[in-house]
Amino acid sequence: MSQRIHNYNYQPCYQTGVLQQQENIGQGQVVVRISQDRLQIEMNIYQKLQINKCLNVVEILKIFNNQVIIEECSMTLDQFMKKRLEISLGFSRQDIQLIIAQIINGYQHLKQLGIIYRNLTPQTILIKQIKGRFIIKLSDFSLSGLVNNQELAQTKAGIPVYWAPEVMFQPEKGYNDKCDIFSLGIILHQLCFQNQMPQLLKNSMELQTFLMNLKQQQFKCQKGGDIDQEYIDLIEKMIVFEPRKRISWEELARIPIFQQPYKLLDNLYIVDFTHKLGSGMQGVIYLTIDLRDQKEFCAKVIDNTQIEGQREISVYEKLSKNNSKNIIQIYNCFHDKHQTYVILEKCDEDIKQYFEKNNNVNNAEILDFLDQITNGYMELQKHGIIHRDLKPENILIKYEDNKKKIKIIDFGVSKINTNQELATTLAGTPIYSAPEVLTLTGKGYTNQCDIYSLGTMLYQFVYKQPYCQANTLENLKNFQQQLKKNPFICPQKSVFKQLIERMLIYDPNQRISWTELQEEVKNLMSKLSIKITERESILHESISSSILRYLDSLQLFTSKLEQELINFYDQQTKYKTDVAKLLYFLLFFSQATILDCQEIITKQAIYIGGETFKQEINIQWINQDRVLQYIDDLQEYIEQIKIEPDQYFVEQQQKMFQEIENKRMTCYDIHQYFNAIFLMQKYKTWIQKEVSIKLRYFLLKLSNIFQDYPLSNVKAILYAQLAEKIKDENVQKKYLETRWKY
């Protein structure tokens, strides 16, 4: 059975390194003093390490005389293990994996520099915390030597409990890096078994006995617990008497779970391979930390030995100096023998995720996204770059100053065109790809293929589904071939309908161009500024007092309120957010009012406010075209409004939509949601001091509408008064004086 170490004398006379000779000098630095008898050897080692940096070896900041300045770390692995033990917190499989992988990485670096470490103990392994990550640092080279120094490889060194048998019994015969494999086995045992050593040891004799027993009997870990069998097997391959029978450092480095978890780039960035953010056509993207200020970035790792990777790297290099706000910012590129690391700004989500979370993105917001994507692509066009893989996953959103900034990413299949050459390779994601990309006729294609891709995305944003329901690539190709004779037609009315149809034309030469698209987007943006036309009565002639007359008068009144709100919205821009929230629910109320009229026209009855109202209809009374037009117009107005919602607004919006899904909502039902927003705004400064008497009166009147004009009294209501056809400012003031505080 393995036991926790107990009262064992570490015999510190064998150790004379950093642990006894270091001094914290502040500013994240520690000074190490080297003894004269070790000066030349250690200086050689430190000079090698200063030039050849590794994340998992302590950083050498400065060397002078017999002193070395190293980075400061928060604790040793020994202290870390003891702290975890104190709070009864063991190491998880992933914890152990990360620690051992980093030790292996640091040790392999030393080996490549020809340094024999010979001092692998929890006391010489340091831990530095970087943004919640525990970074392992091998330190203390007071016992280390260089491969060509045979004398050092024949002396006892380090802490005895971590000595390999050959160090304890026959140091004069020499030993190699396998001695540190033995030490690592003991450390791994401690990590797995709550800091327990492989054997209870009270003195030097017991240590020697334990080591000699390994010659006769292979070490076996204790049974039980939830220790991973892979770790058990590994410990038993490391705590072995004969060095040649132990697993090697090279074999350890090839074990998949011990692949390098972090990578240091030019002593500036740490790439976290344990935190994958995404992947593109030619590489994987990982979270990356800037060591200077701890800010988060992304690193795209690209295979630079393949032509496709080289092509993408050339695109990034070409864009590295671009100032477009709508192309991912490129901060740096680092190259090694097989891979290139491109440092990119980190965004918050892709546009696909945004639309999945937000089911009611309005036209104004879609248009804003389209405008930003177009602006970004125009910058690509300046550099002669065809993206060839525009899709929602490659359009990122970054939140800056409460605004959504669009960023085009992933140039893994992009191509730089020179001299107007045509691209001819298969590229992109099929459902978003243009016909000329999928068919590869040999004629090649231009950046018009990306117009088609953007058209498929725009369709998906607007209509909440793919433009083509194809299950296979062959089905998709067949669908696209049909567009030759039967141009694509959007199924429903939308402000984007004509634009989408111009983008999804089969012949790339007939599609809208990028320049034309940019102009069209600007035109749509000017049209989609909030402009609401005042409505008229839907009745051809005055009819008797009835529920239909009541609802028509109500929609006439809300139309006037809409105009007042819009005027205030245009004049007082600093209150746009609050006004937009009111206007949003007001338009839903107005639309519901006209839909209620349509219900009466269709069924000659309506259930509203807890009562059923019947009304015989003469179809000649009704302007049905106007009814349908107003319903469509109000829907467009609702989609135009760009809102920066707060939590309360979102709660009310979601609650309303849930009700709409479950039942038919009348204007009486929708009214509560307008009131919820109005009552939250009622005593705000902008309504109390900035709003005209007329607008305050209109808002309060709508808030009280079903109290002042009860549905149960539809036959006795003065409809001219309800529709606000009679303007009397004194009446408005008096109403506000008597009703505002309630």
Q: Give the pLDDT score at 81.
A: 94
Do residues 55 and 270 touch, judged by C-beta distance below 8 A? yes
Whole-angstrom Cα Rg for the chain: 37
At 436, is the pLDDT very low, low, confident or very high (cuts 50, 70, 90)? confident
Cα(544)–Cα(715) distance, integer angstroms? 8
Report pLDDT for 723: 80
- Residue 185 has a pLDDT of 95
- Residue written as tokens 């240590």? 207
The rounded Cα 188 to chain-centroid distance in angstroms is: 35
pLDDT at 572 over 80: no
Contact 408, 380 (CB under 8 A): yes
**Under a CB-based contact definition with an 8 Å cutoff, are residues 739 and 732 in contact?**
no
State the CB neighbour count (10 A cutoff) for residue 531: 11
- Out of 190-204, 486-500, 722-736, least confident range: 722-736
* Residue 120 to residue 590: CA distance in whole angstroms: 76
Give the pLDDT of residue 279. Answer: 78
Nearest Cα to Cα of residue 630 among 531, 530, 492, 535: 535
Tokens 């243009």 sit at which residue? 434
pLDDT at position 528: 60
In this structure, the answer to whether residues 304 and 180 fall within a common structural domain is no
The mean pLDDT value for 253-279 works out to 91
- Residue with the two structure tokens 């020179």: 418
The answer to whether residue 255 is domain-embedded is no
Query: Quick one: 332 and 360 in the same domain?
Result: no
The reported pLDDT for the residue numbered 6 is 33
Residue 41's pLDDT is what?
Answer: 86
Model confidence, pTM: 0.65
Instruction: Indicate the residue type of 607.
Output: Y
Answer yes or no: are the C-beta atoms of 608 and 330 closer than 8 Å.
Answer: no
Contact call for residues 517 and 503 (beta carbons, < 8 A): yes
Assign 530 a pLDDT band (cuts: 50, 70, 90).
low
Domain limit, last residue, from 170, 198, 220: 220
Same domain, 492 and 587: no
User: Residue 691: its pLDDT value, please?
Assistant: 86
Q: Give the distance from CA 72 to its chain's centroid.
A: 32
pLDDT of residue 210 exceeding 80, the answer is yes
Contact 573, 651 (CB under 8 A): no
Task: Assess contact for 272 and 134: CB atoms under 8 A.
Answer: no
Token reading at 670: 């929708």
Packing angle, helices 693-703 and 729-739, rounded to 10: 60
Distance CA(456)–CA(433), nearest Å, equals 8
* 212 is a domain residue: yes
pLDDT for the residue numbered 397: 95
338 and 360 in a common domain: no
Of residues 12 and 167, more confidence is placed in: 167
Q: How far apart are CA 520 and CA 371, in angstroms?
A: 10
Q: What is the predicted pLDDT for the residue at 26?
A: 61
Whether residues 197 and 291 share a domain: the answer is no
Across the chain, mean pLDDT equals 85
pLDDT attached to residue 566 = 85
CATH code for the domain in which residue 268 is found: 3.30.200.20
The distance in angstroms from the start CA to the end CA of the chain is: 79
| 621 and 491 in a common domain | no
353 plus 479 within the same structural domain: yes
**Rounded Cα–Cα distance for residues 35 and 711 (Å):** 97
**Is 706 within a domain?**
yes
Q: State the amino acid at position 715 in one-letter form.
A: K
The residue out of 220, 245, 272 marking a domain boundary is 220
Residue-wise pLDDT tens digits, 459-486: 999 999 999 988 888 999 999 999 999 9
The answer to the question of residue 215 being in a domain is yes
Whether 17 has a pLDDT exceeding 50, the answer reads no
Residue 353 shares a structural domain with residue 338: no
Is the pLDDT confidence value at 129 over 70?
yes
Q: For the ranges 35-49, 83-97, 463-477, 718-732, which has the lowest average pLDDT? A: 718-732
What angle do the packed helices 647-662 and 576-603 form, to 10 degrees?
10
Q: Give the residue with greater pLDDT, 21 vs 284.
A: 284
**Model pLDDT, residue 518:** 94
Is 254 among the domain residues? no
In whole angstroms, what is the distance from residue 140 CA to residue 110 CA? 12
Q: How confident is the model at residue 117 (pLDDT cuts 50, 70, 90)?
A: confident
Q: What is the spatial distance between Cα 184 and Cα 238, in angstroms, rounded to a whole number?
A: 7
- Tell me what pLDDT residue 502 has: 96
User: 716 in a domain, yes or no?
Assistant: yes
Contact assessment for residue 283 and residue 273, using Cβ atoms and an 8 Å cutoff: no
Q: Which of these ranges, 17-21, 604-608, 630-634, has the smallest mean pLDDT? A: 17-21
Contact call for residues 442 and 424 (beta carbons, < 8 A): yes
Among 495, 527, 559, give the residue marking a domain's end. Answer: 527
CB 158 within 8 A of CB 118: yes
* pLDDT score recorded for residue 493: 84
Angle at 508 between CA 504 and CA 512, to 5 degrees: 65
Task: Give the closest residue to 90 by CA, choosing from 284, 241, 244, 225.
Answer: 225
Residue 363 has pLDDT above 60, yes or no: yes
Does residue 281 have a pLDDT over 80?
no
Whether the predicted pLDDT of 10 surpasses 50:
no
27 Cβ contact list (under 8 Å, min separation 6)? none
Q: Is residue 596 part of a domain?
A: yes
Same domain, 308 and 429: no
Question: Could you tell me the pLDDT band of residue 416, with boundaries at 50, 70 and 90?
Answer: very low
Top pLDDT among 465 and 224 is at 465
Give Cα 510 distance to the centre of its chain.
Answer: 37
Q: Give residues with Cβ within 8 angstroms of 174, minimum separation 6.
A: 150, 153, 154
Point out the least confidently predicted range of 31-45, 655-669, 696-710. Answer: 31-45
How many C-beta neighbours within 10 Å does residue 659 have?
15
Please give the Cα distance from 562 to 590 (Å, whole number).
9
What is the Cα–Cα distance from 451 to 488, expressed in whole angstroms?
14
Specify the higher pLDDT residue, 219 or 440: 219
Question: Can you give the pLDDT at residue 415?
Answer: 44
Question: Could you tell me whether strands 133-138 and 403-408 are parallel, antiparallel, or unpaired per DSSP bridges?
Answer: unpaired
**Which amino acid, 231?**
Y
Question: In this model, does residue 523 exceed pLDDT 60?
Answer: yes
Q: How many CB atoms lie under 10 A from the CB of residue 241? A: 20
For the chain, helix, strand, coil in percent to 5 are 50, 15, 35
Q: Are strands 611-614 and 403-408 parallel, antiparallel or unpaired?
A: unpaired
Of these ranges, 183-187, 541-545, 638-642, 730-734, the one predicted with the greatest mean pLDDT is 183-187
DSSP 182: H
Q: Is a pLDDT exceeding 80 seen at residue 395?
A: yes
What is the predicted pLDDT for the residue at 310? Answer: 87
- Does pLDDT of 147 surpass 70? no
Question: pLDDT tens digits, residue range 61-114?
Answer: 999 888 889 988 989 999 999 999 999 898 999 999 999 999 999 999 999 999
Burial label, 720 (beta-carbon count in 10 A; 0-12, 13-18, 19+): exposed
User: For residue 124, is it within any domain?
Assistant: yes
Instruction: Give the confidence band of 406 by pLDDT, cuts at 50, 70, 90.
Output: very high
The Cα 725–Cα 59 span in angstroms is: 81
Q: Is the pLDDT confidence value at 176 over 60?
A: yes
The verdict on 105 and 151 lying in the same domain is yes
- Give the C-alpha distances (Å, rounded to integers) separating 317 from 30, 144, 265, 283, 376: 39, 42, 17, 16, 17
What percent of the chain shows pLDDT beyond 90?
47
Q: Which residue is listed with tokens 């692995």?
A: 77
Q: What is the signed CA dihedral for 511, 514, 516, 518, rounded to 10 degrees?
A: 140
Task: Compute the C-alpha angle 99/104/110, nearest 5°.
Answer: 130
Judge if 629 and 734 occupy the same domain: yes
The CATH number of residue 449's host domain is 1.10.510.10
Residues 291-319, mean pLDDT to the nearest whole number: 88
Residue ranges making up the domain that contains 323: 262-345
Q: Across the strands, what pairs with 3?
A: 197
Q: Rounded distance, CA 37 to CA 47, Å?
A: 17
Domains contained in the chain, number: 4
Take residue 390 and report the two structure tokens written for it.
């525009």
Structure tokens at 628: 């349908």
Task: In whole angstroms, give the CA distance from residue 191 to residue 694.
Answer: 75
User: What are the tokens at 380?
Assistant: 């690509």
**Average pLDDT of the segment spanning 511-521:** 94
Work out the average pLDDT over 590-615: 93
Copy the structure tokens of residue 141.
């080279």
User: What's the CA gap between 287 and 704, in Å, rounded?
Assistant: 54
Which tens digits make up the pLDDT trace of 180-209? Answer: 999 999 999 999 998 889 888 888 888 899
Give the SS3 label for residue 146: strand
Angle at 649 between CA 722 and CA 643, to 5 degrees: 90
DSSP three-state, residue 698 = helix
Task: Determine the average pLDDT of the residues in 231-260.
Answer: 94
Nearby residues of 716 by Cβ (< 8 Å), 6 or more positions away: 545
CA–CA distance, 410 with 419 (Å, rounded to integer): 24
How many residues make up the chain in this entry? 742
Res 423: pLDDT: 39
Does 709 lie in the same domain as 590? Answer: yes
The whole-number pLDDT of residue 146 equals 64
Helical axes 363-382 vs 514-527, angle rounded to 10°: 150
- Position 12 confidence tier, pLDDT thresholds 50, 70, 90: very low
Does the structure show a pLDDT above 60 at 150? Answer: no
Q: Is 658 exposed, middle or buried (0-12, 13-18, 19+ CB in 10 A)?
A: exposed
Q: Per-residue confidence at 227, pLDDT binned at 50, 70, 90? A: confident
Q: Taking 50 as the threshold, does the pLDDT of residue 275 lie above it? A: yes
